[in-house]
Chains A and B, each alone.
Chain A
C-alpha cells in the first residue's frame, strides 16, 4: 500500500495530493495498523461529516491508518461489495454499519472469518453484531431512542405528531418513528411522511402536511437533512416556537433552533464516538490485547437549551 502511494505521488504529484487527504500514515509504533470504516450513507448526507472527522482524529491520535468508504448513492447492495472489497485488501479491522442485516451479514461474516476484526457502529443492534461475529456494537439502539423520545413528548402533553422521514428506505429510520409513536402510546398510522432528500421538497411537504392537518401537536425529524428544511417551513407558516418540535441528531441549524426555542430537544447519538471509539478499541486490542467487556452505547442523549455552548461550538464538526 505504501509503495503504491509513493509511486502515485511521484508520477502524478498534482493529482495525487488531494486524494490522499484523509489517509494518516502510521509512525512511531512500528506497527502499520489499518482500519476501514464503511458506512451506508450516500454522498449527499452531510451528517456523516462528523464520522469522517471522528475517524480521522482517532487515526491521528492512535497512529494508525484509517479510511472512510461509502456507496455513493446509498445503495446497500453496493455497500456489500465495498465490504467485500475492504476484506480483500486485508486490513487489521473493519468498522461498519449494519443497515440491513440480510444484505450485509454475509459479507461481514466472511470478513470476520477471513481474519479481519469487525466492530459494528451506528446501525444494527447488539444482537446482530454478536450474530455476525463482530467484537462489539457501538451506537444508539434506534427503537429505544425513539421510544424514550416519545415518552418525553408524552410527558409534555403531545398527542399527535408528524414524522418527517427523509430516508424511508432504511428500516432504522422507520423504527425511530415507530418507537416515538409507541412511546406516545398512539398508532403511527399516516403520521410518517416520505419526504425525500431534497431540501425544498422536504420543506413543501411539511408545509402541505401541516396545512392539511393543522391539529398536529408535534414534529419529529430524523436528522439535519429533514430538520433544516422543516425549520424553514415552520418559520414560513408561523408555527415556529408554537408546535412541539423534536429531532434526532444535531447540526448547526438544529443547535441554533434549540437556542431560539423552536426545537424542544435534539437526540444526540454522538456519531463522533461511534467512529472514534472503535478505532481506539481496536488499536488497543491489536497492540495490547485489551478489549472492553461490553457493547458501547453512544446515545441517546437529549440536548436542550441548557448547556449548549460546546455543542454549538462543534456542531457539524464533532457534534
Chain B
C-alpha cells in the first residue's frame, strides 16, 4: 500500500465499511455468492443440490482447499510450488510401496511418507533461498523429478503403475481412518430414515443413506483453513510471512528470518499435498502414477481467485478457501448444468481471468493503489 496521505497514515482511522471492502477475500465472497446464484438458477433441478450432489461438489472443493491453503501461504511468502501435483502422485505411491509392496503397518507408511515429502518441501525451499533462483524453475524441476520416480519405482518393483490393495492393508489401522474415514454417520442414518436425504434403493446397502458421513477430507480441509487463517492473521509468524513476500530485503533488515520462513512455507505446502494424497489413497484404495497431474495449477488458480497477489505479500487463507469452493462448485456445476465437457477449460480460463480482473479492480479502487 503506497498510499501516502497527509499526516501519519498509521493512526489514520478508516470507516468500518471501507475496512470491510479492503479485505482480500472480498472478491472471493462476491464470487461465491454469484456462483451459487448462477447454478441455483440453471442447475437447481439437476441433482446438484440433493445430498449426493452437495457431497460431490463439497468433496471436490475440499480437495482444492487442502492444496490451496499451502499454496496460499507460500504465495503470500512470495514463492510458488509447481511440484504440488507431482508430490500428490509421489506421496500416494510411497504409501502404496511401504504399506502394500513392503507390507509395513499403514501408520508407519503414512508417517514415513509425510517425513519424506516434507523433506522434499524443505529441499525445494533450501535450494530456492540459497541459490536465489526463481522458485518457479526450482519446483518445475521437482515436478519432473517426483513424477519420474512415481512412475519408475512401481514399474521397477511391481511391473505396474497402479498399486491397489491399500484399503485392505489399512484395515484396523489407527492412523488411516483419520485420513480416509467418515464422521457423523448416525446423523446421516437419521436423516435417511426420516426421508430427508435419499437412501439406496437396491444392493447390499439398500436402505442406507446415499451419503453416509462427512469424509475426513472435508474435516482436514476446514481444519487446515482455520489453522492457516489463524497462523497468518493472529501470530507473529503470520506477519513474517507477509513481510517475507512483500519485500524480502526490507524484512531481513527488520530482523525477520526470511529464509527460515520461506523454507517452512515450502514444507507446509508439501505437507498439504501429502494430506491430499493420503486422503485420496485411503478413499480409493489404490495409488496411481498419474494422480495429481496439473493439481499445482488448480491450487494456484484457487488462491488467485481468492484474491492473493502472484507477487506475494498480499492475500488471505479464507479467500483461498473461497476460491477453492468457487472452483469446485463451478467444475462440478458445469457437469450438472449439462455443459459440453470439452468446453470446461474455456470456462475455467474465463472464470480465472474474470476473478483476477475483478479482484485487481476492487483492490485498486478501494486502496487507491496503482
Residues of A within 8 A of B165 (CB): 102
> Which of A43, A102, A114, A194 makes the CB contact (< 8 A) with B286?
A102
Counting CB contacts under 8 A, is A185 at the interface?
no
Partner pick for B56 among A72, A84, A133, CB 8 A cutoff: A84
Min C-beta distance of A180 to chain B, whole Å? 15
Cβ contacts under 8 Å, B280 to chain A: 77
User: A89 and B284: CB pair below 8 A?
Assistant: no
List the one stretch of B105-113, B181-189, B221-229, B341-349 in contact with chain A: B341-349
**In the complex, what residue of chain A is closest to B39 when comparing beta carbons?**
A4
CB contacts (< 8 Å) of A288 on chain B: these are none
Contacting pair B162 A171 (CB below 8 A):
yes
CB-contact partner of B159 in A23, A72, A113, A174, under 8 A: A174
- Asked if B292 contacts A168 (CB within 8 A), the reply is no
Report whether B341 and A68 are in contact in the complex, using a CB–CB cutoff of 8 Å: yes
Q: Does A309 contact B (CB under 8 A)?
A: no
The docked-state distance in angstroms from the alpha carbon of A11 to that of B176 is: 48
- Residues on the A chain within 8 Å of B48, using CB: 88-89
Whole-angstrom distance from the CB of A123 to the nearest CB of chain B?
12
Q: Among the listed stretches B29-37, B202-210, B358-366, which one makes contact with chain A, having 4 or more residues with CB under 8 Å of it?
A: B202-210
Chain A residues near B311 (CB-CB < 8 A)? none
Specify which chain B residues have a CB less than 8 angstroms from the CB of A72 in the assembled complex. 344-345
Distance in angstroms from A225 CB to nearest chain B CB is 15
- Is A8 at the interface (CB under 8 A from chain B)? yes
* Docked CA distance A102–B165 (Å): 8
Interface string of A1-37 (1 = CB under 8 A from B): 1011101100000000011111100000000000000
* Size category, B interface: 35 or more
For residue A103, which residues in chain B have a CB less than 8 angstroms away from its CB? 284-286, 288
Residue among B47, B202, B205, B290 making CB contact with A89, cutoff 8 Å: B47
**B21-34 toward A: CB 8 Å interface, digit per residue (1/0)?**
00000000000000
Chain B proximity mask over A67-85: 1 for CB below 8 Å, otherwise 0? 1111011111100111011
- A168/B155 in contact, CB under 8 A: yes
Q: A3-B45, A23-B338, A113-B206 are in contact. Are A102 and B167 (CB under 8 A)?
A: yes
Known interface pairs A81-B59, A100-B162; A113-B284 also in contact (CB < 8 Å): no
Query: Are B340 and A90 in contact, with the CB atoms below 8 A?
Result: no
Tell me whether B52 and A88 are in contact (CB under 8 A). yes
CA distance A90 to B47 in the complex (A): 7
Question: Interface centre among B55, B288, B294, B341, by most A CB within 10 Å?
Answer: B341
Tell yes or no: B291 within 8 A of A by CB.
Answer: yes
- Cβ contact of B53, chosen from A43, A82, A88, cutoff 8 A: A88
Report chain A residues within 8 Å CB of B292: 75
In the complex, what residues of B have CB within 8 A of residue A76's CB? 288, 290-291
B53 touches A85 (CB 8 A): yes
Interchain CB contact under 8 A, B50 and A88:
yes
Bound CA span A103–B283, Å: 8
Q: Does A281 contact B (CB under 8 A)?
A: no
Interface stretch (choices B4-12, B255-263, B329-337): B329-337
User: Which one of A104-112, A146-154, A242-250, A290-298 is at the B interface?
Assistant: A104-112
Note all chain A residues with C-beta closer than 8 A to B273. Answer: none
Count of chain A residues with a beta carbon within 8 Å of a chain B beta carbon:
51
1/0 contact string of B193-217 vs chain A (CB within 8 Å): 0000010111111100010000000
The residues of A that contact B101 with a CB separation of less than 8 Å are none
Q: Is the CB of B289 within 8 A of A4?
A: no
CB distance from B317 to the nearest CB of A (A): 24
By a CB distance below 8 angstroms, the chain B residues around A114 are 52, 198, 200-201, 210
Q: Chain B, 44-86, contact with A by CB distance < 8 Å: what is the 0/1 string?
A: 1111101011011101100000000000000000000000000
B60 contact set on A, CB distance < 8 A: 81
B220-244, CB under 8 A of A: which get 1 and which 0?
A: 0000000000000000000000000
* Contact among A68, A81, A88 with B47 in the assembled complex (CB-CB below 8 Å): A88
Among B161, B202, B343, contact of A174 (Cβ-Cβ < 8 Å): B161
Residue of A nearest to B208 (CB): A113
Whether A82 contacts B203 in the complex (CB less than 8 A), given A19-B340, A20-B340, A101-B164, comes out as no
Contact status A168-B289, CB under 8 Å:
yes
**A211 contacts B by Cβ under 8 Å:** no
Whether A87 sits at the interface, judged by CB under 8 Å, is yes
Whether the pair B45, A1 counts as a contact (CB closer than 8 A) is yes
Q: A133: nearest residue on chain B (CB-CB)?
A: B203
Most buried by B among A18, A85, A112: A85
Are the CB atoms of A8 and B42 closer together than 8 Å? Answer: yes
Closest Cβ of chain B: how far from A283's Cβ, in Å?
19
A-contacting residues, B151-192, CB 8 Å: 151, 155, 159-162, 164-167
- Whether B200 pairs with A100 at a CB distance below 8 angstroms is no
Q: With an 8 A cutoff between CB atoms, is B251 at the interface?
A: no
Q: How far is the CA of A194 from the CA of B57 in the complex (A)?
A: 34
Question: Is B42's CB under 8 angstroms from A18's CB?
Answer: no
The answer to whether residues A85 and B335 also contact, given A68-B341, A72-B344, A171-B160 and a CB cut-off of 8 A, is: yes
* Closest 5 pairs between A and B when the two form their complex, measured CB to CB: A102-B286, A113-B203, A88-B52, A169-B290, A88-B53
- 16 A-B pairs (CB sep. < 8 Å): A4-B42, A4-B43, A7-B41, A19-B343, A22-B340, A23-B340, A67-B341, A69-B335, A75-B292, A81-B56, A85-B57, A85-B332, A88-B48, A88-B56, A89-B53, A100-B288
What residues make up the interface of A, taking CB atoms closer than 8 Å to B? Answer: 1, 3-5, 7-8, 18-23, 43, 67-70, 72-77, 80-82, 84-90, 100-103, 106, 109-110, 112-115, 133, 168-171, 174, 194
Additional 15 contacts, C-beta under 8 A, given A20-B340, A23-B338, A89-B48: A67-B338, A69-B335, A75-B291, A76-B288, A85-B57, A88-B50, A102-B167, A102-B285, A102-B286, A103-B284, A109-B203, A110-B210, A113-B206, A115-B202, A168-B155
